[in-house]
A and B are shown apart, each in its own frame.
Chain A
Amino acid sequence: MVEYNPFDWKHHDDPYPVYRALREEAPAYYNPEHDFWALSRHEDVIAAFRDPETYSSGQGVTLEPMPDDVTAQQLASFLAMDPPKHDDVRGLIWRRFTRRRVKELEGPVRALATLYLDRIAGNGQCDFIQDFAAKVPMDVISEMLDVPEADRDQLRHWADTVVHREDLQDIAPPAAVEAGMNLLQYFGAHVMKRKAEPKGDLVDDVVHAQIDGEPLNDIDTIAVHFLLAIAGNETTTKLLGNALYWLWKNPDQRKLVEKDPTLIPGWVDETLRYDASSQMVARTLTRDVEVHGKTMKKGQKVALLIGSANRDDRVFDDPDRFDVRRKASATLAFGHGTHFCLGASLARLEGRICLEEVMKRIPTFDVQPDGMKRMYASNVRGLSSLPIRF
């Protein structure tokens, strides 16, 4: 019998055989120990994404319960809301993330990528995550949130700590709760300061926001910052690390990209399909649902397995092959529907530009697998350390 336990570190070494078994043997899987369901087939995951009335985000989108005295909305803002409030809050900042708007960031993102690569280019080696992949996304979102340079390493440390989970634990460890509180406090002070200092930026859009004539309250204002600081950072860092690793693992694909840099966007999208940073999001059922002969009960949590849907051979040919030329438009890496990732265009832009500069400046990179370290969370997948030589 297949078992899916995202709280088990072992699962994250290679989740894909488990996903395959789930899709074939238990497409509506129930985990009795942690009391949740999991949907793993592409068509079931996409159907759930399309039905937010049944599959609610209101209790948060992780399987872990919230710490006492904190609501999911306080930490995850509109990620943990249902329509119509979700749409109102997401709508406040959407204009900053449109494809068109994001294109204007091409120059600044490239400047950041070259800055960090120039620092390491002469060293012959680096930790690709710590020295590069974690730096650029934090800087990009910090610029948008008006976070001063001096504070960014601290914020990134807190953000990393918030998502970290201990082996076999289905609750956030005390360090994660504390880091979350520190972030809330930091952005609380930040928001207060910025209320008095308009700059015409994204922060203004939030702190001076009105929804139906009512100002956004402080808790919601801070939550938007909290969400963006983590979401804008964690998953993009993991995307860059996963992309570099899988190209190194697949020398035939590396040759293609070396010969033709216009394949780099395909490399980004294939990484997002093949080994998505965001492997799973949870929903809570607002009514009983019958699926594959099982009854999932109102109030229970359902894990939507993005990482599995992206490997479903009902949708993707030869899904376990890493292929930068693949048409991956059915990917669910950024979710689907109402909650489709606000930062999808930005993540793709950062991915493309960072990898373009990597292929220009350190094209001979060679991964040192012995020093690789994985980060552990029930939902985010990626590396915390990726030593390379070049």
Chain B
Amino acid sequence: MKVKLNQDLCEANGVCVQEAPEVFKLDDDDVLHVLQTAPAEDLRAKVEAAVRLCPRNALTLEE
């Protein structure tokens, strides 16, 4: 699975960081970073929740 971030939509609400801190990080300037663009399979549930709950639909998942 591959995580894609649309930086234009992201508004740094940090929901993904709560759902999957292994994969997402907000820096001090509130810019979101995807730490692992191809996370391991055991993180799937967390990453799917992050994608589903992103308030701005800024994340997508590709297989």
B53 within 8 A of A: yes
Q: Give CA–CA (A337, B9) in the complex, Å.
A: 9
B2 within 8 A of A: no
**What per-residue 1/0 map shows which CB atoms of A26-58 lie under 8 Å from chain B?**
000000000000000000001000100000000
- Count of chain A to chain B residue pairs whose CB atoms are closer than 8 Å in the complex: 34
Interface centre among B12, B29, B55, B57 (most CB of A within 10 A): B55
B53 x A340 contact (CB < 8 A): no
**What per-residue 1/0 map shows which CB atoms of B22-39 lie under 8 Å from chain A?**
000000011000000000
A336 within 8 A of B: yes
A100 within 8 A of B: yes
State whether A50 and B57 are in contact (beta carbons under 8 Å apart), knowing that A329-B15, A329-B18 are contacts in the complex.
Answer: yes
Q: Which residues on B sit within 8 Å (CB–CB) of A334?
A: 55
Q: Which residues on A sit within 8 Å (CB–CB) of B11?
A: 94, 98-99, 340
CB interface residues, B 1-51, toward A, < 8 Å: 11-13, 15, 18-19, 29-30
A266 CB → nearest B CB, Å: 12
B53 x A330 contact (CB < 8 A): yes
A99 x B12 contact (CB < 8 A): yes
B58 CB → nearest A CB, Å: 10
Q: Which residues on B sit within 8 Å (CB–CB) of A94?
A: 11
Q: Give CA–CA (A288, B36) in the complex, Å.
A: 40
B12 x A337 contact (CB < 8 A): no
Q: Give CA–CA (A100, B13) in the complex, Å.
A: 11
In the complex, which residue of chain B has the Cβ closest to the Cβ of A315?
B53
Q: Which residues on B sit within 8 Å (CB–CB) of A345?
A: 13
In the complex, which residue of chain A has the Cβ closest to the Cβ of B18?
A329
A337 x B30 contact (CB < 8 A): no
**B residues with CB within 8 A of A:** 11-13, 15, 18-19, 29-30, 52-53, 55-57
**A residues with CB within 8 A of B:** 46, 50, 94, 98-100, 327, 329-330, 334-338, 340, 344-345
In the assembled complex, 7 residue pairs joining A and B whose CB atoms fall closer than 8 Å, in A order, are: A98-B12, A99-B11, A329-B53, A337-B56, A340-B55, A344-B13, A345-B13
Instruction: Give the 6 A-B CB pairs with smallest separation, nearest first.
Output: A340-B55, A329-B18, A329-B15, A100-B30, A99-B12, A99-B30
